[in-house]
Amino acid sequence: MRILLGVSGSISAYKALDIARGLFKNGHEVKVILTNGALKFVIPEVFTYLGVQDVYKSQDDFSHKNVLHVDLARWCDVFVVAPASANTLSKLAQGRADDLLSSVFLALEPHKNVLLFPAMNSVMLAHPFTQQNLEDIKKLRTLNNLFISPTDAGILACEEVGLGKLPSVDEIIEMIPTMIRPLKFPTQKTILATTGATIVPLDPVRYLTNSSSGITGFYLAEAALKEGHKVIMIAGAHSTAKLNLFSKHPNFRLVRAKTVEDMKNAVLAELPHADLYISSAAISDIEFDVSDEKIKKDTMGDHLKIKPACDILKTVIEKKSPTLKIVGFAAETDPSDAVLNKKMQSKPVDLLVGTKVNNGLTKDQQITGFNVDFAEYRLLSPKGFTFEGILTKRELAHKIILQFFPPN
């Protein structure tokens, strides 16, 4: 992907160095435009050491043989301004073209993607002029693919506390590829997915869980968002914090659930909106009779009676609409033909993902499936096995999303 990164005069301009480096490490081509204000905070040459192809200053339009602002506008797939200062937002809202950054903005074709990440003092952000400028930019009908990120709250560089902080570098790096609207935009679908581990309480201080990190859900969200779909992610309370990196994405919603019952209720509340349900969470299949007080050691045996937990996937299958597609996951120490076929018969789904797992706590065994970025998978459809082998969890996620919603 070709990313043109504009950097304006905010104290958070130094973070643009890490943004550029992260984008380059993720395989993107990056060029940078620095405003006069940005030059007060960052040195152009540093960007080139971090992998940026070219760095341009405010008035470089006049030192090139070609029309630079037009060439850059045609070159990029996405135009990102991070940080976007109050002054830069004012220029963009008014259609001014007195430097390279603002000229590129006017030269962008309607289908190009524009991502703005404001950063400034909270009083400046709340000023009616700034708010009006933000509204004016949003109303531009020619910008079909415009996204203006909300700012974060916290301690600002001026030591005041409030909104106005630039989102984290990791959040911006993850957001950019998922905000690119495909040229051949598919019919937008809604994917409802579960991920991570549930918690089974025993008493006020003890509980049973497993080592599922929820990273599969992160990659499922990433894959679906890149294809332009909506994602509702129901995640275990301790699932990876990486899911929060999509919190500002307009097509993403995250719901945290602690217990199996919490997750079931969240799933059923969202199910009527879904086109595809993916049950990738490591949901407990047992529960305890929860004690109101901490269980003492000498009475522990009296309280460790287990009972079956509710089966969320089975409930979804029973309540599914005729158009809903379902993907089930089977985390097994031995995902054999017999085991997976039995699961498919008891819970018929459109795709069953068999995963070989081990928590690594057993003697002489390494962790597999849980808390790692790859696993051994066996994919079973109603017609038979369609894939067997090792995949990264990102590869698995893309395979699932594209199987059900291939690009037009």
Binding-site residues for CTP sit at: 285, 294, 329, 343, 347
CA dihedral in degrees (179, 185, 189, 195; nearest 10)?
Answer: -40
Phi, psi of 229 (to 5 degrees): -95, 165
237 alpha carbon, distance to own chain's centre:
17
Q: Would you list the DSSP string of 285-353? A: SEEE---SSPPPGGGHHHH--EEEPP-HHHHHHHH--TT-EEEEEEEESS--HHHHHHHHHHS--SEEE
d(CA 333, CA 215): 19
Cβ contact 10:42 at 8 Å: no
Closest CA to 8 of 103, 120, 72, 85: 85
Cβ contact 69:61 at 8 Å: yes
- Distance linking the first and last C-alpha atoms of the chain: 20
d(CA 109, CA 183): 13
310 is catalytic: no
Closest CA to 224 of 280, 152, 147: 280
Which residue positions form the known binding site? 285, 294, 329, 343, 347
Q: Hey, what are 127's tokens?
A: 């000023």
d(CA 234, CA 260): 11
Beta bridge mates, 160: none
Looking from the CA of 45 toward its CB, the CA atoms found within 13 Å total 0
Q: Which of 11, 50, 158, 290 is catalytic?
A: 158
Q: Which active-site residues does the annotation give?
A: 158
